[in-house]
Amino acid sequence: MGHLPGGRQSARRLRSFGAIDGSRSIARSVTERWPAEIGRTLVIMPAKDESATLPELLERLASVHPPSDTLVVDDGSNDATPVIARHAGCRVVSHAFNIGYGAALLTGYHYALRNDYSYIVQMDADGQHPPEAISNLLQPVFEDDADLVVGSRWLSPDTEPQGSLRRLAARGLAWMATLWTGQRITDPTSGFQAISPTALAHLCSDGFPEDYPDVDVLIGLHRSGIRLAEVPVTMAARANGSSMHAGLRVLYYFYRLAVCLLLLPVRRTSPYRSQRPRR
Amino acid sequence: MIALVQSSVPLLAPDLGRQKLVAIALAVGMLLIVLELVRRRKLREEYSVLWVITAVALLVVALNRAVLVWLTDLIGAAVLNSTLFFGGLLFLMLLCLQFSIRLSRLTYRVRNLTRRIALLEEERNKQQDDSQ
């Protein structure tokens, strides 16, 4: 049966979703591999209905990072996503309902601040981002060469090919980010990022866009003095599910991006909420 | 009596140039106010879409009278003013519909959260009672 908390009933539930092989224990302690002097690192994984990809992904992640320092932010899943994550030994925060990818990331950031994590790696739960690349992502941050490191699929020759429309849009956004920041940025929409304490403080301070956080966040951080860097990462194709930019939402995405970039130099802090987490 | 009142009120001749200027000023003003509210983060981008579209449409119509004539012909109206009133009513209807949809979702979410908080409080109280 394996070593699953909750006993046979729990394992039966998981098998009914086809999500887990109950004969293996997923949670393994790897703290002996993690250099203690670097500081605590939290892996944040926003997830919604990812029970198909999550078990394998968490197993790969456990080989490079402790499950106890992995936070799965369940954004209103209707399947066994939070159960799978909890059984894998990860921390799980579940939103009452779906409030968006950016909101889930912000929940993760607040969790990191509340629990005294120094560094953050954020990655998607759909299997696109390879956990094995986390150490490459973190290295510039640990060596204090950058405050935020983006894993760029376009810098890697082995990345799964993308559609022509997507490539064109990606090039346009990359050109925009490069123009605004003055440094070459190839993948500003990548959700695979390593974040230093300095960058985390900026992200949590105000105005983090909770619907589509990407290009404008990077540009805003750069304007605040955050040092950006990119490393090549080989990304896989999405295993299942749909992109958050699919359908008519892409129209709103570009509208919102245009308004945010237009107002970026003069944007004020929000009068409605302080995003500083209460300790 | 009505004829007496009507005869005492002088009819003004429409000044198309001034009308155009006022319409352009209104459209630009509306656009600037909406962008300013978004800049101050008092208005979320998702709620600014309809306002921006309406302001841009008003600007286009103000700058090019032929568009207004074409729209009037399209909807089968007799006079240009009817098209403007129709557009205004349509905008208000869409705005109300957007808010109704949002309110419905918020109502569901607030009730759901209220229920969850109540259940969490009960669980916490139960744990406290068990530990004592």
Write the pLDDT tens digit of every residue in A69-87: 999 999 999 999 999 999 9
Q: Are strands A91-94 and A148-152 parallel, antiparallel or unpaired?
A: unpaired
Longest C-alpha distance within chain A, in Å? 59
**B35 and A263 in contact by Cβ < 8 A?**
yes
| Residue A174 structure tokens | 């990359």
**A211 and B46 in contact by Cβ < 8 A?**
yes
Conformation bin of residue A18: beta by default, left when phi > 0, alpha when psi is -120 to 50: left
Query: Which residues make beta-bridge pairs with A42?
Result: A120
Chain A residue nearest residue B53, CA to CA: A255
**B39 and A267 in contact by Cβ < 8 A?**
yes
d(CA A139, CA A149): 9
**Cβ–Cβ under 8 Å, residues A240 and B10:** no
For helices B16-39 and A249-263, angle between their N-to-C axes, nearest 10 degrees: 90
Mutate to test the interface with B, among A256, A269, A272 (most CBs of B within 10 A): A256
d(CA A82, CA A85): 5
**Cβ–Cβ under 8 Å, residues A82 and A94:** yes
Residue A9's φ and ψ, nearest 5 degrees, are: -60, -40
Mutate to test the interface with B, among A251, A255, A270 (most CBs of B within 10 A): A255
Q: What is the ipTM of this complex?
A: 0.73
pLDDT along chain A (279 residues), means of 10: 38 38 32 50 95 94 91 95 95 92 93 92 94 94 94 83 78 90 92 94 78 84 92 80 70 88 79 52
Q: Evaluate if pTM is beyond 0.80.
A: no
> Where is pLDDT greater, at B3 or A62?
A62
**B45 and A269 in contact by Cβ < 8 A?**
no
H helical segments located in chain A: 7-16, 54-62, 81-87, 101-114, 134-142, 164-181, 197-205, 215-223, 249-263
Does the structure show a pLDDT above 50 at B27?
yes
Average pLDDT over residues B85-104: 95
Q: Which of A211, A259, A270 sits opposite B48 (nearest CB)?
A: A259
Q: Which secondary-structure segment (H or E) carries B39?
A: helix B16-39
Burial class from Cβ neighbours inside 10 Å (0-12, 13-18, 19+) for residue A56 reads middle
Chain B residues closer than 8 Å to A259 by CB: 35, 38, 45, 48, 52
A95 to chain B, closest Cα gap in Å: 10
For residue A16, which of A47, A51, A48 has the smallest C-alpha distance? Answer: A51
d(CA A162, CA A245): 14
Looking at residue A38, its pLDDT comes to 53
Chain B residue nearest residue A97, CA to CA: B109
Chain A residue nearest residue B34, CA to CA: A259
**A271 and B42 in contact by Cβ < 8 A?**
yes
Chain A residues closer than 8 Å to B45 by CB: 211, 255-256, 259-260
Looking at residue A27, its pLDDT comes to 30
**Cβ–Cβ under 8 Å, residues A73 and A48:** no
For residue A114, which of A56, A206, A40 has the smallest C-alpha distance? Answer: A40
Chain B residues closer than 8 Å to A272 by CB: 41-42
Average pLDDT over residues B29-34: 96
Number of alpha carbons in the 13 Å side-chain half-sphere of residue A143: 9
Looking at residue A37, its pLDDT comes to 46
